[in-house]
Every structure is written in C-alpha cells, then in structure tokens.
Amino acid sequence: MRLRQLHELTLVRFKLFVREPEAVFWAICFPLILSVVLGFAFAREEVEDSRVLVLESVGAEELAARLTAVEGLVVERGRDPEEARRRLRKAAVDALLRAGDPVDLRFDPRRPEGALARLRVEAALRGGAAVTRPEAEDETGFRYIDFLFPGLLGMGLMGTGVWAIGFAVVDLRRKKLLKRFLVTPMSRASFLMSFMSSRIVFLGLEFAVLLPFGLLLLKVPFAGSILAFAITIILGTLAFASIGLLIAARPKTVEGASGIMNVVMMPMWLGSGLFFSYERFPAFLQPFLKALPLTAVNDALRAIMLDGAGCATIWPEALLLVGWALVSFWLALKLFRWQ
C-alpha cells in the first residue's frame, strides 16, 4: 500500500523534474560547462617570471646585472623610493631591492608571488642559478582540473538537491496542493521520501553523462573503487535532498526559500574545498569545515578518484552523510508546514 504511493509519488517527481528544462540544465549542463571553462582556463598554468625593482644607489648597476642574468627574474630600475613602494603595493612588481651589504629586500609575504621573488633573488645572490625554473605539474592526477572535477560533482549534487527540491516543495505549498494532499490518506513520510527516491533515480541519469565526460574528455583519473564512489554519491544525494526538504519545510514563498538556500550553501561553496583546498582556512575552522556535508562528499570523491581509495577509507565521510540525511529528514518531517 505505502509502496504504491511511494512509487507513484517518485514517478511523478521524476517526471516533473525532467520536464523542467532549467532543472536539467543546472543538474547536468552547468557542471559540464563549469568544468570545461575552469578546466581549460587553468590547464596550462605557467609559473610566471618575478618582476623586481632595483632602486638607484651605489652598486645598483652591478646588482641589476647579477639578477638579470638569472632566468625567471625581470629587472626594472627606479629612482623614486615613494613611486617604487607604490608599485609594490599595487603588485606591479613583486619585490624592491636596494644594493648594499646586505642587500635590502622588500616584498609582500602574503602574496605567493612575493615569496617566489624572494626565493629567486636570494638564490641569485647566493651565487647563480641555484633554483631552476620550476615546472608546472602537468601529469594526470596533478592538474587543477583533476582537483576541480570531483568538487564540481559534489557541487552539482548539492545544488540539484537543494534547489530542485526546495523550489518544488514551496511551489506545491503555494499551489495549496500540500493542503489538498493532507485531506487524503497519503502518508506524509512517503511524500517526503519521494523527493529523495526521485533524486536517486535522476542521479543515475546525471552521472551517466557527467562521469564519462570527465573521464574520457577531461581525462580525470578514476583510481579507486566504483562501489565506494556509488555509495558516496548516493549518500550525498540523500543528505542534500534531506537538507533541501528541511530548508523548504516552512517558507511560503520562493524568495523566502532561496534566501535560506543561499545562507545554507554559501559556507559550503567557500569552505568545502570546491575550488581550492579548505586546509587554507585557519585551524580553528577546520573541524567545522570537515563537518559540512559537501566537504565530506568532496573529500571522499577526491580520495576515490585521485588517491584510489575504497570503502575502507571513506567510511567516516559516509557515516557523516548518513547522519546529515537522518537528522535533516527527521527535522523536516517534524517542522513541515502543510498548509
């Protein structure tokens, strides 16, 4: 009895989802486009030359000559110390130098270019080309696209789960269909569950496109266990679907719901290691970032695809996702506003 409802509700949700061109675009095409754009933008990343400015003083001529001889250093000469400092602040040059013993070197340690310039200058002063020109890693598995692609898969799971479900629920509420369902013997849990089961059905379709694209066209490696991968994306989908239901549990308007969605998803876009590793955030934030569901999905997917991990490695992430799914679903069921 309950199963027939769940089956029918799931079928309806699935049909409505695929009949919504925008939803399909955001779920499938958007991650594809993003991975192509970002993938190619960062594919041939060169290590750039460092620009250094040598201020006029006794010995400046000799210093400039020594530096110019080193590969990777481009030398400018300048007279006005104020102007030179301004150029450093604007990042027009990476370091300022004044001849003397020792040589006076100024750079902005917060900028990686500054640190690189310092290394190169020091190497040059110590005696020639101690630092060879560093090569950008272009081996498969080390490219930016390899880091990025699993993150984009995770982002797609989150976006589709939260948006598609959140907006669908609010729309049903606005249409008073939720209220209409309430006067039937429909099981409320089946109703909420159908959002998750229809997402799982759609997940198959989504990954049948995304994965071959990533593996064959972008040549992203897949070193680990397919089972672990499937478990991760299914649990991720369930977690995000539950979160979508929880977000949509109360709001009456699309505007209200999308506000909450942004507040919920923003920390994950930034802090879950989507475009850069979350390890760059301060240490006290790490436990919070690691507890986010998107962090768990991204970490697990990267471990599986890049490091060849299997179920034995990713179980903590899997457990965390189960936790998110159960707690959010339970809360959604408790808080749900039907009319």
Partner 1 sequence: MASSVLHPIAARGLVRRFGDLTAVAGIDLEARAGSCLGLLGPNGAGKTTTIEMLEGLQSPDEGEISILGRSWATDAAGIRERIGVQLQETSFQDKLSVQETLSLFASFYRRPRPVPEVLALVNLTEKATARVHQLSGGQRQRLALGCALVNAPEVLFLDEPTTGLDPQARRRVWEIVEEFKRAGGAVLLTTHYMDEAERLADDLVIVDHGKVIARGTPPEIIRSLAVESIVEFSLAEGSTLDAGQLAELGGLPGVIEARNLAGGYLLEVDDTRAALGSLIGWLERSGTVATDIGTHRPTLEDVFVSLTGKHLREA
State both tokens at 70: 């080193």
Burial of 321 (0-12, 13-18, 19+ CB in 10 A): buried
Nearer to partner 1, 260 or 333 (CB): 333
Choose one: 44-52, 75-83, 173-181, 317-325; the region binding partner 1 (CB under 8 A).
173-181
Consecutive H or E run containing 74 = strand 73-78
CA 55 to each of CA 83, 114, 215: distance values in angstroms, whole numbers, following the listed order: 10, 17, 51
**Sequential DSSP letters for 77-113:** EES-HHHHHHHHHTTSSSEEEE-SSSPEEEE-TTSHH
Residue nearer to partner 1 on the CB measure, 20 or 49: 20
Looking at 26, 30, 42, 181, which residue binds partner 1 (CB under 8 A)? 181
Question: What backbone phi and psi angles, to 5 degrees, belong to 53?
Answer: -115, 125
4 interacts with partner 1 by CB under 8 A = yes
19 part of the interface to partner 1, by CB under 8 A? yes
Rounded to the nearest 10 degrees, how much is the dihedral formed by the CA atoms of 207, 211, 212, 213?
A: 110
Does residue 111 interact with partner 1 by CB under 8 A? no
Q: Can you tell me the distance from the alpha carbon of 264 to that of 255, in angstroms, rounded to the nearest whole number? A: 14
Is residue 21 involved in binding partner 1 (CB under 8 A)?
no
The three-point CA angle 66-71-73 to 5° equals 70
Shortest spacing between CB 199 and partner 1, in angstroms: 17
Q: How many residues bind partner 1 (CB under 8 A)?
A: 24
SS3 133: coil
Q: Which is nearer to partner 1, 147 or 163 (CB)?
A: 163
Helical (H) or strand (E) element with 51: strand 50-55
Kindly state the tokens that stand for 124. 């040059």
N-to-C CA span, the chain: 25
Give the x/- contact pattern for partner 1 in 185-224, rule: CB under 8 A: xx--------------------------------------
Nearest approach, Cβ of residue 245 and partner 1 (Å): 18
The stretch among 140-148, 184-192, 275-283, 293-301 that binds partner 1 (CB under 8 A) is 184-192
Which of residues 111, 133, 180, 337 is near partner 1 by CB under 8 A? 180
Asked if 77 touches partner 1 (CB under 8 A), the answer is: no
Q: Which is nearer to partner 1, 12 or 136 (CB)?
A: 12
CB of 8 vs partner 1, minimal distance in Å: 4
Q: Binding segment for partner 1 among 13-21, 48-56, 154-162, 220-228 (CB under 8 A)?
A: 13-21
Contacting positions for partner 1 (CB under 8 A): 1, 4-5, 7-9, 12, 15-16, 19-20, 172, 175-177, 179-186, 339
